[in-house]
Amino acid sequence: MHDVHLVIESLSEQTVKANRIILWLDEDEFSQSTIPGILKLQQDRGLEVRFCPNYRSYKKLVPTLQLAPNADIITVDDDLLYPYDMIEMLVKEKLDYPQCIIGTRAHEMLVNDKSLLPYKSWPKECSYLNNGSKTFLTTGAGTLFPAGVFPKEALEPKEFLNLCPNADDIWFNLVALKHGIGRWKLSDDRKFVSRFLHLESNQDIGLNKQNVNNSQNDIQAKKVIEHFNIEFS
């Protein structure tokens, strides 16, 4: 919370500016009176600080879709400083792939005998040359969602919090696959770690350990696949 202003500064220095920068906070944890003073200064410069129910990692996208359903939305996490041209590159890529979700970072889902293999076995940090039906975008590292891309059922809190409470990227990628929504890794193969700077103190190590090391990604993916009857080829 006390470093997120650095993330916001990296967004304000982009070569293409966002129309709005919105920071969503848990309404049960924060209020306007308890946020750090430096965020209040950023509010004076245009930052919007808004409060929503505890949607966990879904706070990046779902409340904004409710607030501005006709807007293109770029989601970002609070543990990265973003390269100055990120928004520009995403917006330019959308001109060529207007109906796709476009991300700066992608893995590749592996399938065997029409079954999704464990998350830990997937190739990570994949090239845009591998873009296809198995592309899996990590939704926090700068991901553009075109307006109206998701059906209403994808945005029901009771659904995603019940089936996939701790892995919004699993949810959104699998729902997109179910509905034939393209996922496209940005046409830029420069190494992610050379352009995106991690704020080490902000990384949610516990959630990552739970989802990846303890196979919670696979457990949640299985529930989503069964719920939507998703078939793999």
Average pLDDT across the chain, whole number = 94
Would residue 202 count as lying in a domain? yes
Is residue 36 in some structural domain? no
pLDDT band at 205 (very low <50, low <70, confident <90, very high): very low
Instruction: Give the tens place of pLDDT for each residue, 167-195.
Output: 999 999 999 999 999 999 999 999 999 99
In the numeric block, the tokens 């198995």 are attached to 134
Judge whether 208 lies within some domain: yes
DSSP code per residue over 200-223: GGG--HHHHIIIIIT-HHHHHHHH
Higher-confidence residue of 133 and 233: namely 133
Kindly report the backbone phi and psi dihedral angles of residue 107, in degrees, each rounded to the nearest multiple of 5, phi listed first.
-110, 180
The answer to whether the CB of 77 falls within 8 A of the CB of 59 is no
Tell me if 9 is assigned to some domain: no
**Residue 200: CATH number of its domain:** 3.90.550.10
Domain-located, residue 81: yes
In DSSP terms, which residues pair with 73 in a beta bridge?
145
Q: What value does the mean pLDDT take over residues 24-40?
A: 97
pLDDT band of residue 200 (cuts 50, 70, 90) is confident
pLDDT of residue 80: 96
**In the predicted structure, residue 121 carries a pLDDT above the cut 60:** yes
Total count of domains within the chain? 1
Distance from C-alpha of 92 to C-alpha of 11, rounded to nearest angstrom: 17
What pLDDT was estimated at residue 175? 97
Indicate the helix (H) or strand (E) that contains 10: helix 4-12
Helix (H) or strand (E) holding 176: helix 168-178
pLDDT of residue 215: 84
Band of the pLDDT at 233, cuts 50, 70, 90? confident
The three-state secondary structure class of 19 is coil
Residue 171: name the closest of 56, 87, 31, 51 by CA. Answer: 56
Joined tokens for residue 178: 């179910």
What's residue 206's pLDDT?
Answer: 47
* Domain enclosing residue 175, as ranges: 70-228
Is residue 64 situated within a structural domain?
Answer: no
- Could you tell me if residue 189 is inside a domain? yes
pLDDT digits (tens, 9 = 90+) for 66-99: 999 999 999 999 999 999 999 999 999 999 999 9
Closest CA to 154 of 170, 138, 166: 170
CA proximity to 176, closest of 157, 155, 161, 191: 155
The fraction of the chain above a pLDDT of 90, given in percent, is 89
Q: Is residue 52 part of a domain?
A: no
